[in-house]
Structure 1
Amino acid sequence: MSNGTPLGDFLRARREALKPHDVGLPEYGRRRVPGLRREEVALLAGVSSDYYIRLEQGRENSPSPQVLEAVAQALKLDAETADHLNRLCLTVSQRPRDRGESGVSRKLLQLMDGWEHTPAFVVGPALDIMAANSLATALHSGFAQFDNLARMVFVDPAGRDFYQEWERAAHSCVAEIRAAYGHDPASARIADVVAELSAHSEEFAALWQTHEVKSKSQEGKHLKHPQVGDLHIEFAAFTVNGAPHQQLVVYQAEPAGATAAAFETLRAMAAGPEQNGPEQAGAEQAGAEQAGAAGPVAGLAGDQ
């Protein structure tokens, strides 16, 4: 994903995103580098230029919490991005050991299947769809595959119409994968997804290099389904107990509103003879597991 170190790449991207006037520094003449100079960040953080250069070059492996806090303040990082900075400095032994792609629990599948009026699905760190109930599958039926949210946004042509606020969805996808990367920089699955999407979407590749970090928000979404039209939804995301690498995403509609009526239409479609009824979420998980052997993003050439 890079020729540098995770920490160095992050610091360089965040430094280049700032202008001198953003941090109260004068700006004279033509600058040879985008954003701030390394020496300027060092000055703002109260460390030597040599020390900061070692950080960006990956030659300083154990910066103190005080130094990281000072650098975060110098780079104007918000709390979530500052936490990401700290995670990038963790050693392998300091990282959680439970980031593997374990399956979705049977109890959670049964819970999702019981929500007949509510689309719900589970995503992994790379935004792979790990399981979904029948209404969530019907909601995303306009896509070639309901397999990975980032692929659906950036590569599937349906994404531009489905996500009415496409740019916001695009930024959210990349920032969420970047946040997951901070928890597990060695993740082979994240590396595969980033490589595939970068190869097939210049927009994804450019956004990935900004190193923006943001977990799933609780903001509303404006979607457009090819059969039932405009949908205005609220959603919530929950970390799954016992599986911190999984997030349960739940979409909701205002009661008795147009979106709720559209959900009912989708529910009727999902309950047709081609569906298998209450076992749909389990079936979706089984299909995802079969596809997982090659990776849900395989075959790309052929906020979600």
Structure 2
Amino acid sequence: MNRGELADFLRRTRARLTPSDVGLTAGARRRTPGLRREEVAQLTGMSVDYYTRLEQSRGPRPSRQMLTALARALRLTEDERDHLFHLTGEQPPRFREATSTHVRPALLLVLDRLHDTPAMVATDYGEVLAQNALSRALSGDVLALPPPGRNMTRRFFLDPAAQGPCPPEDRPERAREQVACLRAVASARPTDPEPAALVAELRAASEEFAHLWDKHQVAVRRAATKRFLHPAIGILELDCEVLVDSEHNQQLVIHTARPGTESHQRLQLLRVVGLQDLTPTSS
């Protein structure tokens, strides 16, 4: 691990960003350009002390999970991400098919600009890669969960706590959609181990999933209208728009409310309520 080069690289990439680049407010006047160390720590989920030690060439070797979080927080390109991994003596991720868990900086920039509507980036088989603040307010901070809990389909079928945002009467149709979408992905990329492993896990662990899978329904995730049950706001009926990055098999999922509706008023209220007293749930 090249601690000196790593420290220099982190300082320089941090200095080139502004708070608005990553969806944060600037706050008080800054003495130096770029993000503050505590802001990078906040974005990555690490302690300020841990990140400070990395920039001072005295930190421990970061885990692969932490390196991935740093790459996203600092808006690194894929080449820069690979460089970050090499500096720590790690091999960068190599994707066995087109699926990538590295979100392009330009896509993250779009996500950060969506201040008034919930939005997230996910793989086409349901792995959440990034959320904006209003998505966390609506559905919980999925990225704060251990990696297995970041897949929406897995949590929908295996975690009872994740079923809160889905009104009970909507669950059968939502379950059918989840399974049909996963089947479309798995059949399109039969040699990709990630969707295949998820299917095998869910067929073994969930009778409901296995029953729906055997129906052999197929559907690609597209625009739809969905209802969310929020513990503080109530029911929100939101239009779901899915923008596809076909090169990386990622999706930008945006939820909007029609102006003038009760759901639009409740979504505005959600911006005020924010993340107070909310636990992670499913998107």
Q: TM-score range by the shorter chain?
A: 0.5 to 0.7
TM-aligned CA deviation for residue 205 of structure 1: 1.5
Going from structure 1 to structure 2, the CA distance change for 1:110 and 1:270 (only over 3 Å counts) comes to: farther
> What is the aligned counterpart of 2:251 among 239, 247, 251?
247
Going from structure 1 to structure 2, the CA distance change for 1:158 and 1:255 (only over 3 Å counts) comes to: farther
Going from structure 1 to structure 2, the CA distance change for 1:196 and 1:269 (only over 3 Å counts) comes to: farther
Aligned twin of 1:204? 209
Q: Residues of 2 paired with 1:102 and 1:224: CA distance?
A: 29
Q: Does 1:106 align with 2:138?
A: no
Q: Is the 8 A contact 1:154 1:204 kept in 2?
A: yes
TM-aligned CA deviation for residue 241 of structure 1: 5.5
Following superposition of structure 1 onto structure 2, how do residues 1-304 of structure 1 map, counting pairs within 5 Å? Answer: 99-141=98-140, 145=145, 147-164=150-167, 165-240=170-245, 242-243=247-248, 245-270=249-274
Q: Residues of 1 paired with 2:126 and 2:275: CA distance?
A: 26
Amino acid at match of 2:218: V
Aligned twin of 1:71? none
Q: Is the 8 A contact 1:153 1:169 kept in 2?
A: no
Q: Residues of 2 paired with 1:182 and 1:123: CA distance?
A: 19
TM-aligned CA deviation for residue 125 of structure 1: 2.8
Q: Residues of 2 paired with 1:105 and 1:142: CA distance?
A: 20
Count of residue pairs the alignment pairs up: 179
Q: Is the 8 A contact 1:234 1:251 kept in 2?
A: yes
Going from structure 1 to structure 2, the CA distance change for 1:134 and 1:181 (only over 3 Å counts) comes to: same
Amino acid at match of 1:204: F
Q: Is the 8 A contact 1:116 1:267 kept in 2?
A: no
TM-aligned CA deviation for residue 138 of structure 1: 1.2
TM-aligned CA deviation for residue 98 of structure 1: 5.0
Q: Residues of 2 paired with 1:269 and 1:241: CA distance?
A: 35
Q: Residues of 2 paired with 1:105 and 1:251: CA distance?
A: 21
Q: TM-score, normalised by structure 1?
A: 0.53
- Runs (5+) with no aligned partner, structure 1: 1-96, 275-302
Amino acid at match of 1:122: V
Task: Calculate the aligned-residue CA RMSD, in Å.
Answer: 2.8
Q: Is the 8 A contact 2:181 2:221 kept in 1?
A: yes
Q: TM-score, normalised by structure 2?
A: 0.57
Q: Is the 8 A contact 2:101 2:129 kept in 1?
A: no
SS in 1 for 2:109: helix
SS in 2 for 1:185: coil
SS in 1 for 2:150: coil
Q: Residues of 2 paired with 1:139 and 1:271: CA distance?
A: 8
The structure, 1 or 2, with the larger RCO (C-alpha pairs under 8 Å, 6+ apart) is 1
Q: Residues of 1 paired with 2:210 and 2:247: CA distance?
A: 33
Deviations 1:52-83, CA, capped at 9 Å, x for gaps? xxxxxxxxxxxxxxxxxxxxxxxxxxxxxxxx
SS in 1 for 2:212: helix
Aligned twin of 1:278? none
TM-aligned CA deviation for residue 132 of structure 1: 1.3
| Larger Rg computed on CA atoms | 1
